Structure 1
Amino acid sequence: MLLLLVALSGCGEVPDGGSAPGGGVGPRTLTIHADGGDVRIRVEIADEPAEQRRGLMHRTALGENRGMLFVFDREQRLSFWMKDTLIPLSIAYIDSEGRIVDIQNMKPLDDDPPHYVSARPARYALEVNRGFFEERGVEVGDTVELP
């Protein structure tokens, strides 16, 4: 069953331990173990439905080495869109074991179906600036150390 999520994008500056927009947890560090070495990203956590629907909408910039990690209750096919999202993004879908199962580039303001659907079931989705994964040698199959 395909779950259509209105999870959109953008990431603001929030002090450690502080509240993210919408009341979530402030930035935490996530590490991707890639062939070229470890890649660290400061991420906002979106684990509540309202945070996931808002995502990075209406934001005009996403800091370097910053992102948003969407956390779901179970592994499933995930679908994201870019309604009201102004920043070009890349998304990595991550399974329950912390393995990247799909990476896609997303276009700003793209809300036309088909949406950005994970190639395989995933429990997490990581949005970063477009090209981030490619520039750092992150690929499908790499593992993620989640916060």
Structure 2
Amino acid sequence: MKNIVSRFVLAIGLTACALHAQAQAPAAGQPQLGLQRTTITAGMYLIDAQLALSPREREIGLMHRKDMPAQEGMLFVFEQPATQCFWMRNTLLPLTAAFVADDGTIVNLADMKPMTENSHCSEKPVRYVLEMNQGWFAKRGLKAGARLTGQPFRAAK
């Protein structure tokens, strides 16, 4: 009887987890707006960054967003440093991707045109990619070698 109760409790827990995951995922063709957030600092500038942590969150990214406030972005967090490549399928906004090393140093930047499938890749293995509205980094004089700070980069050390 104890084994049956344990299995029942496990089944309820797994069902609850699955329903929670479904509730978090956006409907097809809809932007994901409910992701966790963190604050990143770029010099004197603050960025309110959504965190794309899971493979599904990273796959959807900023797709289907019609606008994004200037101080917002999305930080894609990967488990291991690797050459990261991004494209803009179903992405309506022109974006700049900052490929970021574990210590927060911007390795390289790539301007990306909406609704294209051109590949934009990091120049060396990175764990983080920060997407912002196109021109955000340039307007603030931030280039390769600039340093971002915040919780994600402290945790990577």
Q: How many residues align?
A: 121
* TM-score where L is the length of structure 1: 0.78
Q: CA 1:118–1:41 in 2, change beyond 3 Å: closer, same or farther? A: same
Residue 144, structure 1, aligned to residue 148, structure 2: yes
TM-score, length-scaled by structure 2: 0.73
8 A Cα contact 2:107 2:144, kept in partner: yes
Amino acid at match of 2:131: E
Q: What are the within-5 Å matches in structure 2 for residues 80-99 of structure 1?
A: 80-99=86-105
Q: Distance in 2 between matches of 1:80 and 1:42?
A: 21
Name structure 1 gaps, 5 residues minimum.
Answer: 1-9, 13-19
2:14 is aligned to none
Matched to 2:97, the amino acid is I
Q: Percent identity?
A: 36
Match for 1:58 among 64, 88, 105? 64
Greater share of strand residues, 1 or 2?
1
**Paired amino acid for 1:81:** W
Write out per-residue CA displacement over residues 49-105 of structure 1, whole angstroms, 9 at most, x where no aligned residue: 000000000110111110000001111100000000000000100011211100110
Q: Which residue of 1 aligns with 2:39?
A: 29
Q: Which letter maps to 2:40?
A: L
Task: Name the CA distance, whole Å, in 2 between partners of 1:30 and 1:11.
Answer: 20
- Which structure has greater helix proportion? 2
**Larger C-alpha radius of gyration, 1 or 2?**
2
Supply the distance in 2 between the matched residues of 1:11 and 1:61 (Cα, whole angstroms): 12
Structure 1 runs of 4+ off > 2 angstroms?
A: none
**Could you tell me how far apart the structure 2 residues matched to 1:141 and 1:39 are?**
16
